[in-house]
Amino acid sequence: MSAWLPALLAGRMIRLGWLLPLAAAGLFALISLAPIDPVQAYVGGRTSQIGPEQRDAIAAAWGLDRPAAERFASWLGQLARGDLGQSITFNAPVMQVIAARLPASMALVGLAFALSFVLGTLLGLAAGATRGRWPDRVIRTIAVVLAASPGFWVAILLVAVFAVGLGWLPACCATPPGQLASEVTPADSLRHMVLPVATLSVVGIAPLVLHTRQSLIAFLDSPAARHLSAHGASPLRLAFGPGLRHAAGVALTLHLASAGELFGGSVLAETVFAWPGLGQATVRAATGADAPLLMGIGLATLLFVFAGNLLADIAARLADPRLRRVA
């Protein structure tokens, strides 16, 4: 029965096999284009203390004096051994920086993923079941307005209202200032997550709501739904009964396939909330000319998007048995 899964996995692994090296080459080329001198970025304000010989020494230590092809080859060689190089801004191995900051980002992205899925699907179902009437119009308006709202603006407004105005929730960081991670209670951690998770959850919800609504309406208009309503099924009963699988299957597939966008959103959310995750590291790497870290993050997010797409393919087949036939 599940003969489709190995075939799907094999196909996707082959794709990863050519996508990953191509993307690595693309990323390397892109980052080598940058007109920013990493040595200058590293030296920063200490120009007076660091002479040209020391600069050359730093450049040589990072291998910047060698031609691009050679640097790429050695970077690939390192990569094959699981070594992503040394981050300039954090002064630590890239792998270590990513490993240290990934959990914080994943906590945000994971919670927001679950929350926005539940919220988006329910709103989409409610809108589809009441098509053309006021609940539908209200939900669609909210979705379209959210789609047009810059995520960081939503984050700032949430801070202005709930942190500054009402003083209910902390405005920044993952922990209260001055506390070690080990001293923080779970309740405190949770309080710090509320605003960032809320931001991430609502910002990307519009496509989910609209697609869920669309697929539910397609089902409600189908002969199958008409057959059921001929025997007394109401639209609401159809929506949250048989329609659930039609709409939620599509919604989950779409949501997994766009999980990467949640990470993109968390770059901005982490900037607003000073959240110590990978998104904040991305911004610091980009503004600090930290090429090794940027490339590491690029590859990590590539794998993240890839995993999301793979899970989306699996979800689509679980929801719709017609897709399981091995092509």
Partner 1 sequence: MTLKVEDLSVSFPTGPVLAGISLALERGEIVGLTGTSGAGKSLVAEALAGALPGDATRTGRITVDGALAPPHMVALAPQRLDALDPLAPVGRQIDRFARLAGRSADVPGALASVGLPATTARLYPHELSGGMARRVLLATALATGADWIVADEPTVGLDEAAAGRILSLLADLAASGRGVIVISHDLIGLARIASRVVILRQGRHVETAPAHAFDGLGSCLREDFSRALWQAQLAPDAPC
Partner 2 sequence: MSGAVDPTLPLPARRRNPRRRATRHGVVALALLGAVLLAAPLLPEGALSIDRAARALPPDPAHPIGTDMLGRDIAARTLAALAKSVQVGLLAAGASTLVAVVLGLAATFGRAADHVVGVLTELALGLPHFVLLIMIAFAMGGGTTGVVVAVALTHWPRLSRIMRHEAQGIATSDYVAISRALGRSRLWVARHHLAPHLVPQIIAGFIVIFPHAILHEAGLSFIGLGIEPHLPSIGVMMSESLREIMAGHWWVAAAPGLGLMLIALAFERFGEALRQLSGPPGATT
Rule CB under 8 A: which residues touch partner 1? 222-224, 226-233, 241-242, 245-246, 249, 319-322
Give me 39's structure tokens: 């040595």
Least distance in angstroms from the C-beta of 320 to partner 1: 6
Least distance in angstroms from the C-beta of 133 to partner 1: 13
From partner 2, partner 1, none, which one binds at residue 267 (CB under 5 to 8 Å depending on kind)?
A: partner 2
Least distance in angstroms from the C-beta of 206 to partner 2: 9
In terms of CB distance, is 26 or 321 closer to partner 1? Answer: 321
From partner 1, partner 2, none, which one binds at residue 110 (CB under 5 to 8 Å depending on kind)?
A: none
212 lines the binding site for partner 2 (CB under 8 A): no
160 lines the binding site for partner 2 (CB under 8 A): yes
Distance, in Å, from the CA atom of 227 to the CA atom of 225, rounded to the nearest integer, reads 5
- Torsion angle defined by CA atoms of residues 209, 136, 160 and 183, in that order, rounded to the nearest 10 degrees: -50
43 lines the binding site for partner 2 (CB under 8 A): no
189 lines the binding site for partner 2 (CB under 8 A): no
In terms of CB distance, is 248 or 272 closer to partner 1? Answer: 248
30 lines the binding site for partner 2 (CB under 8 A): yes
- Torsion angle defined by CA atoms of residues 6, 9, 14 and 19, in that order, rounded to the nearest 10 degrees: 180
267 lines the binding site for partner 2 (CB under 8 A): yes
Task: Report the 3 state secondary structure along the chain.
Answer: CCCHHHHHHHHHHHHHHHHHHHHHHHHHHHHHHCCCCHHHHHHHHHCCCCCHHHHHHHHHHCCCCCCHHHHHHHHHHHHHCCCCCEECCCCEEHHHHHHHHHHHHHHHHHHHHHHHHHHHHHHHHHHHHCCCCHHHHHHHHHHHHHHCCCHHHHHHHHHHHHHHHCCCCCCCCCCCCCCCHHHCCHHHHHHHHHHHHHHHHHHCCHHHHHHHHHHHHHHHCCHHHHHHHCCCCCHHHHHHCHHHHHHHHHHHHHHHHCHHHHHHHHHHHHHHHCCCCHHHHHHHHHHCCCHHHHHHHHHHHHHHHHHHHHHHHHHHHHHCHHHHCCC
110 lines the binding site for partner 2 (CB under 8 A): no
17 lines the binding site for partner 2 (CB under 8 A): no
Least distance in angstroms from the C-beta of 205 to partner 1: 24
In terms of CB distance, is 51 or 241 closer to partner 2? Answer: 241
Sign of CA dihedral 30, 262, 205, 270: negative
In terms of CB distance, is 116 or 253 closer to partner 1? Answer: 253
Least distance in angstroms from the C-beta of 219 to partner 1: 8
Stretch that binds partner 2, among 82-90, 179-187, 190-198, 256-264 (CB under 8 A): 256-264
In terms of CB distance, is 56 or 221 closer to partner 2? Answer: 221
Give me 85's structure tokens: 């190089």
Give me 192's structure tokens: 């710090």
Least distance in angstroms from the C-beta of 6 to partner 2: 23
Residues that contact partner 2, how many (by CB under 8 A): 64
Give me 182's structure tokens: 């080990």
From partner 2, partner 1, none, which one binds at residue 230 (CB under 5 to 8 Å depending on kind)?
A: partner 1
Sites of contact with partner 2 (CB under 8 A): 15, 19, 22-23, 26-27, 30-31, 33-36, 129-135, 144-145, 147-153, 156-157, 159-160, 164-165, 171, 207, 210-211, 214, 218, 220, 235, 260-261, 263-265, 267-268, 271-272, 282-283, 286-287, 289, 294, 297-298, 301-302, 304-306
